[in-house]
Amino acid sequence: MANQTPHVQLLLTGNEIMSGDTVDSNSALIARRLGELGVPVLRKVTVGDDRNLLIRELAAMAEVADLVIVNGGLGPTVDDLTAEVVAAVAGVPLAEHPGAIAHLEAWCARRNLPLNAANRKQAMLPAGCALLDNPVGSAVGFDVSVGSCRILSTPGVPGELAKMLDIIVADLGRRLERASEHSVLRLQTFGLGESSAQQLIADACPDWPAEVELGFRAGAPQMEIKLSVDSAAALPARDLCRAQLESLFGDHIIGEGDTQLAEAVLDLLRARGKTLTTAESCTGGLVASMLTRIAGSSDAFHAGFVTYANDIKSAVLGVDEQTLQEHGAVSEPVVRQMAEGALARASADYVIAVSGIAGPTGGTPDKPVGTVWLAWGERDAIETLQLCWPVERTLFQTMLAAAGLDMIRRRLLGLNSQPRYFAQRRVG
């Protein structure tokens, strides 16, 4: 397999994927991780938990592919068929794998559970297989060769798959010597749309070099920009492209790799020895939750307030009742007083305050669903801004929580430019 691109196929199993109850994001994750090595996935097939269908698909794949990754069906229940199917295609019996038993015993011991019959089934693997360690869950993966095809069976739980892919990708990378030449630079951005970013790049960089592949992955709240090259010789061109992207929308770039907005903000605060507090109405604790998801956030985040009701805005944050009556909860003076109240009560250096109408109800002709006031900054230097972001409730909460974090990020970096989303979302 060394020194040439292997033919890779994916086989996905699970009734919940076939029924549409679960959207399969695992195959996208596998494709992205293999993509880091410059290895494309040629074809993927999904079938339900049906022994005969699975055997037929896997046998056909094993005849033509160099590598098949099977995902799902490693659990303890009767509809988890992967071990049985791989054994049938490899023409070997199932056998209790001592390494898998040891893994399961350790897993159960950590949870004070006995090793029951259902768990024990997870150690019945194709005879002679190698194990793929699962540092997170009970199901081990396994590695079986059928003719010239290598079959890797991986767990369906996304967090477990992600960890196992680290192992698989590192191993494949070692086998593919040319892989070390393939390199992917990922930039995380907030506030850019995929099509407008693409258009801006096309306009500003007509001579984009062919050897630098440009890709986008739009998510909520962030969008990833990806620069891939296939050889070390293309790295200087890649660096020039990066510089062009930075001059085009540098202030929208949060960081490299998987950097999250909350992480970037916490790093900036930590470097300055500063703390941040939050006063949230329509985002209902999401800004605080995004911050505290990051390990070590307690260095820079000590307190947050969720003040959903008007009387709580007064009682907890000291917002003036008359201001609330005159201007309503979604107004400049109220969001400013929320910010000031939170700063004082938390003795924090920086604050984010959000008050808006997340919907689906609660809008008025004056303040339709999607209307929101943001406040951010330091004592005696609080800025405010009205946006209108009329999207579905949870997406609204996600985008506005991120916008609040982005305002603090921009303040901490001393950026004076206006983010591009102001042009579309700003009111007044």
d(CA 390, CA 98): 56
Segment contacting a second copy (CB under 8 A): 146-154, 297-305, 373-381, 404-412? 297-305
Residue from 183, 244, 259, 289 in contact with a second copy (CB under 8 A): 289
Q: Does the footprint of a second copy cover residue 24 (CB under 8 A)?
A: yes
d(CA 404, CA 296): 20
Query: Given the structure tokens 């896997």, which residue do they identify?
Result: 58
Residue 121, judged by CB atoms within 10 A of its CB (0-12, 13-18, 19+), counts as middle
Q: Does the footprint of a second copy cover residue 243 (CB under 8 A)?
A: no
Q: Does the footprint of a second copy cover residue 46 (CB under 8 A)?
A: yes
Structure tokens at 355: 């008050």
Residues 6+ apart with CB under 8 A from 421: 191, 403
Q: For residues 33 and 336, which CB has a smaller minimum distance to a second copy in the complex?
A: 33
Q: Does the footprint of a second copy cover residue 42 (CB under 8 A)?
A: yes
Q: By rule CB under 8 A, what string of x and - marks binding of each residue 332-361 to a second copy?
A: -------------xxx----------xxxx
How many residues at the interface with a second copy, by CB under 8 A?
102
d(CA 381, CA 379): 5
Q: Does the footprint of a second copy cover residue 145 (CB under 8 A)?
A: no
Q: Does the footprint of a second copy cover residue 113 (CB under 8 A)?
A: yes
Q: End-to-end distance of the chain based on CA atoms, in angstroms?
A: 60
- Please answer whether residues 362 and 355 qualify as being in contact, where contact means their C-beta atoms are separated by less than 8 angstroms: no
d(CA 354, CA 403): 10
Question: What single string gives the DSSP state of each residue in 259-296?
Answer: --HHHHHHHHHHHHT--EEEEESTTTTHHHHHHHTSTT
Q: For residues 35 and 255, which CB has a smaller minimum distance to a second copy in the complex?
A: 35
Q: Does the footprint of a second copy cover residue 27 (CB under 8 A)?
A: yes
Residue from 1, 18, 131, 167 in contact with a second copy (CB under 8 A): 18
Q: For residues 141 and 304, which CB has a smaller minimum distance to a second copy in the complex?
A: 304
The SS3 of residue 94 is strand
d(CA 152, CA 131): 9
For 265, how many CA atoms within 13 A lie in the half-sphere containing its CB? 34
Q: For residues 92 and 270, which CB has a smaller minimum distance to a second copy in the complex?
A: 270
Q: For residues 128 and 226, which CB has a smaller minimum distance to a second copy in the complex?
A: 226
Residue from 2, 130, 204, 218 in contact with a second copy (CB under 8 A): 218
Segment contacting a second copy (CB under 8 A): 168-176, 211-219, 230-238, 376-384? 211-219
Residue from 315, 321, 383, 418 in contact with a second copy (CB under 8 A): 315
Segment contacting a second copy (CB under 8 A): 85-93, 236-244, 305-313, 405-413? 305-313
Residues 6+ apart with CB under 8 A from 14: 22, 24, 46, 48, 49, 72, 73, 156
Shortest distance, position 262 Cβ to a second copy, whole Å: 11
Residues 50-79, interacting with a second copy (CB under 8 A)? 53, 57, 75-79
Q: For residues 145 and 166, which CB has a smaller minimum distance to a second copy in the complex?
A: 166
Shortest distance, position 128 Cβ to a second copy, whole Å: 26
How many other β-carbons are positioned within 10 Å of the β-carbon of residue 345? 15
Q: For residues 170 and 202, which CB has a smaller minimum distance to a second copy in the complex?
A: 202
The SS3 of residue 358 is coil
Residue from 112, 247, 322, 325 in contact with a second copy (CB under 8 A): 112
Shortest distance, position 206 Cβ to a second copy, whole Å: 14
- Please answer whether residues 352 and 374 qualify as being in contact, where contact means their C-beta atoms are separated by less than 8 angstroms: yes
